[in-house]
Amino acid sequence: MAALGPAASARPNAPGTFTFAAVGDIVMGSTPNLPPDGGAGFFGSVARNLAADIVLGNLEGTLSAGGSSKCGAASTSCYAFHTPPSYARWLERAGFTVMNVANNHALDYGPEGQAQTLAALRSVGIGWTGRPGEIHFEQAGPVRVALVGFAPYAWAQSLTDIPAAQRLVQRATADADVVVVTMHAGAEGTAHQHVRPGMETYLGEQRGDPLAFAHAVVDAGADLVVGSGPHVLRGMEWYKGRLIAYSLGNFGGYKVFALGGPLSTSGILRVTLRADGSFVAGRLVSTMLAGPGIPALDRSGAAVRLVRTLSRQDFGARAVAVSATGGLR
């Protein structure tokens, strides 16, 4: 049986290090389909495994009420998500410190919906990253950390303009000890679990070249790259001594995501980094989307086995070695 991962601990970090946790896509329900407890228990079974100095999630949708949906009234193939702004407090209570808003659902309810989303996050002390030119900074003890989000959409910092992405990362390196890049990249679904060179497309959209992008931002100074977007887990790679996690899949989506098999297999990435960005330790905690899409710990360790296999298949000698208990080395 795979380990459930580290619990929250009061032990201090080793001098000059900090802890970081990240998950994939999050939708805590979309009005009128909301959890029966008003969202209070949404992260209840996984919160202790999120505890870290900095905790990142991809906010797949808006924290908004009202406004105009991007979908027409008669549409049956368009999805727009709006979770009540009050649900921001559940993100804060679960431990999240920063959310990525560079994704295809960030403008589901237009500029008004995004403004409400950012106001809701601000009200509970959660930061965000991902809009054009935006760099978010957090202080983890003595370590200053920059977080920069990218996606292939006009309202986000561009994923497809790689030279511009490199310039923004270089700007971040000038003002921070460590730079973390999060990318919403790649095609979606079970047919797209592998990382391959070249541009990925989905529903007629160019969804970026995740491999080229991730390598380019590390070349520019990024110390860790964390991906979301495909709605499935992908492999992990070492590149120039830096960890790249190409997709952390769906973390939680109440009655909004297709579920089953790899679509319900997820994980929490936990790493400890030094102030120079170098890797100290890491672990993948296996989680799943239970019932209608609520995040839960997965005692079977499916995520660990899947990421181990995908990493070996896609990256060979560069693959992150994943132990039976989720340890990364």
Domain boundaries, the chain: 17-69+80-318
The model's confidence at residue 47, banded by pLDDT at 50, 70 and 90, is: very high
pLDDT given for residue 222 in this prediction: 98
Task: Write the Ramachandran bin of 321: left for phi over 0, alpha for psi from -120 to 50, otherwise beta.
Answer: beta
**Are 219 and 260 spatial neighbours (Cβ–Cβ below 8 Å)?**
no
Label residue 102 by pLDDT band (50, 70, 90).
Answer: very high
Residue 88 reports pLDDT greater than 60: yes
Please say if the pLDDT value at position 114 is more than 60.
yes
How far apart are alpha carbons 233 and 245 in whole angstroms?
9
Token pair 């709006």 is at which residue?
A: 82
Q: Is the pLDDT of residue 5 over 80?
A: no
Of the candidates 246, 271, 267, 243, the one whose C-alpha atom is nearest the C-alpha of residue 20 is 271
Q: What is the pLDDT of residues 119-173, one digit of tens each?
A: 999 999 999 999 999 999 999 999 999 999 999 999 999 999 999 999 999 999 9
Q: Length of the chain, please? A: 329
Average pLDDT, whole number, for the chain? Answer: 95
What pLDDT score does 75 carry? 67
- Average pLDDT in the 263-286 region? 98
> How far does Cα 37 stand from its chain's mean position?
25
- How many other CB atoms are found less than 10 A from the CB of residue 41? 12
Digit-coded pLDDT (tens) for 48-78: 999 999 999 999 999 999 888 999 776 677 9
Average of per-residue pLDDT across 94-106: 97
pLDDT band at residue 3, thresholds of 50, 70 and 90?
Answer: very low
**Is residue 6 over pLDDT 50?**
no
What pTM does this model have? 0.95
| The pLDDT of residue 81 | 96
Query: If you average pLDDT over residues 31-44, what whole number do you get?
Result: 96
Contact status, residue 288 vs residue 171, Cβ threshold 8 Å: no
Give the CATH number of domain 17-69+80-318; options: 3.20.20.150, 3.40.50.970, 3.60.21.10, 3.40.50.150.
3.60.21.10
The pLDDT score that the predictor gives to residue 72 is 75
Instruction: Identify whether the C-beta of residue 149 lies closer than 8 Å to the C-beta of residue 185.
Output: no
Q: According to the model, what pLDDT value does residue 307 have?
A: 98
